[in-house]
Structure 1
Amino acid sequence: IYGANGVVAGKEVIAYCRIGERSAHTWFVLHELLGYPDVKNYDGSWTEWGSSIRVPIEK
């Protein structure tokens, strides 16, 4: 599933969701179980980013 969507080992991955809970699971699977070396969890996730003014948003 991850590889088919461009998520590969060696490429930086930043996981996020609405509040950080699901993204923590993604971080755990990629980093701890699959051994991806450069995975980060954006703890503030969309709640923090969406509340910020003048920050970029991409689809």
Structure 2
Amino acid sequence: MSCIVSGIATSRAVGEGDVFFDAWMTSWMFSWAAAFPTVLIAAPLVRRIVARLTAAP
């Protein structure tokens, strides 16, 4: 997911030229490094919230 999002954002920022692939891989590395720990922290919290919202009374 972070690969696709960073690819679209990089394409919009630098265009589809010679520097696109290098810029995309660099931006993907940084976005993955931010997204992975965020998911590890947020996922348990979101699961608990959803479980409480969907629990039978």
- Give the structure with the higher percent helix: 2
TM > 0.5:
no
The structure carrying a bigger strand percent of its residues is: 1
Q: TM-score, normalised by structure 2?
A: 0.30
Structure number, greater radius of gyration: 2
Q: Scaled by the length of structure 1, what TM-score is found?
A: 0.29
